[in-house]
Amino acid sequence: MYEEHFRLKEKPFGLTPDPDFLFLSESHRRALDHLLFGLESGEGFIVVSGDIGVGKTTVCRALLRRMPERFTTALVVNTLLTEKELLRTVLADFGAEVPDGTRKDLLDSLNRFLLAEAERDRRPVLIIDEAQNLAPSLLEQVRLLSNLETEKRKLLQIVLFGQKELREKLRLPELRQFDQRITVRAVILPLDRRETARYIHHRLSVAGASGGAYLSSSAEKLLFRRSRGVPRRVNQLCDRAFLAAALRDAARVEREDVARAAESLSDGVPGEDRPMRWFRRASWLAAPLLHLTRFGKGGGF
């Protein structure tokens, strides 16, 4: 592939949320700071939301790496579960006993585990990624888990990551109690234009790039326009554009490589190139005129 051509040690634009490639845009940094602050304060729920592909799972993985040692974590990533399955997953991920019994047996086991952790001065945190998929009834069950407490403090802290449907779900009347308990809300935004360029260079340098301009400035401009600063889209476009440049045996990625990449990923309209959009509109407006002209000719006026 193109790694060899550009003398890189590894693939710079992979699609897995690898925290080794973490780039801290203003909004990613703010989300991570809010998370660490919220966990320190130990109160309420923390909710991190953002559009598809902006980097929620990446921030979640980065958080797990930075979590101070006194926290014990359970991470749930499959959210299409029944309530009992959720409880089992949480227990298993905490490394607690998973009884083969009723919902009450599972809750008792969780309570025992959390009390033992509190006694050892440890702070259990349940992190749920893809939380937009949790049914409202399951979100309500998650809220009830956070009611487990001693006289002094809550036994379990809860962090949810989810697409913006999660925010909408949390506004439902039946989830009002959940919503009121959220103390930290962070939103991850797409990158702006400068951040997009820095993001690309950051990923290239983690992959072993030795500096220099890998993209022309018009290529960068088009990349931003077509990706709208959404990191997953940036990665997809870069991956193909770098391949196109390598196939041309070129030293850097040009605008045409990005255009070709966008075309091959073509989902059409979002982020459509301005000249293309202009052409579409112009041809739509011109159609009746052409028709009239033809009619005029044929009709012998």
Nearest one of 205, 201, 195, 169 to 54, comparing CA atoms: 195
Instruction: Give the interface segment with ligand ATP, choosing from 53-61, 64-72, 119-127, 166-174 (CB under 6 A).
Output: 53-61
Angle 148-150-155 from CA coordinates, rounded to 5°: 50
> Which residues contact residue 267 at a Cβ distance below 8 angstroms, ignoring those fewer than 6 apart?
none
Is 111 near Mg ion (CB under 5 A)? Answer: no
Window 22-61: contact mask with Mg ion (x via CB under 5 A):
----------------------------------xx----
Contact of residue 53 among Mg ion, ligand ATP, none (CB under 5-8 Å per partner type): ligand ATP
Sheet architecture: strand order including 71-76: 71-76, 123-128, 157-162, 45-50, 182-188
Q: Return the amino acid letter for 287.
A: A
Window 160-179: contact mask with ligand ATP (x via CB under 6 A):
---x----------------
Closest residue to ligand ATP using C-beta atoms: 55
Query: DSSP for 177-233?
Result: HHHHTEEEEEEE----HHHHHHHHHHHHHHTT--SS-SB-HHHHHHHHHHHTT-HHH
Q: Which residue, 113 or 199, has its beta carbon nearer to ligand ATP?
A: 199
187: which strand partners? 49
Residue count of the chain: 301
Q: Which residue, 54 or 87, has its beta carbon nearer to ligand ATP?
A: 54
Contact of residue 251 among ligand ATP, Mg ion, none (CB under 5-8 Å per partner type): none
Number of chain residues interacting with ligand ATP (CB under 6 A): 20
Interaction site with Mg ion (CB under 5 A): 56-57
Interaction site with ligand ATP (CB under 6 A): 15-18, 21-23, 28, 50, 52-58, 163, 231-232, 235
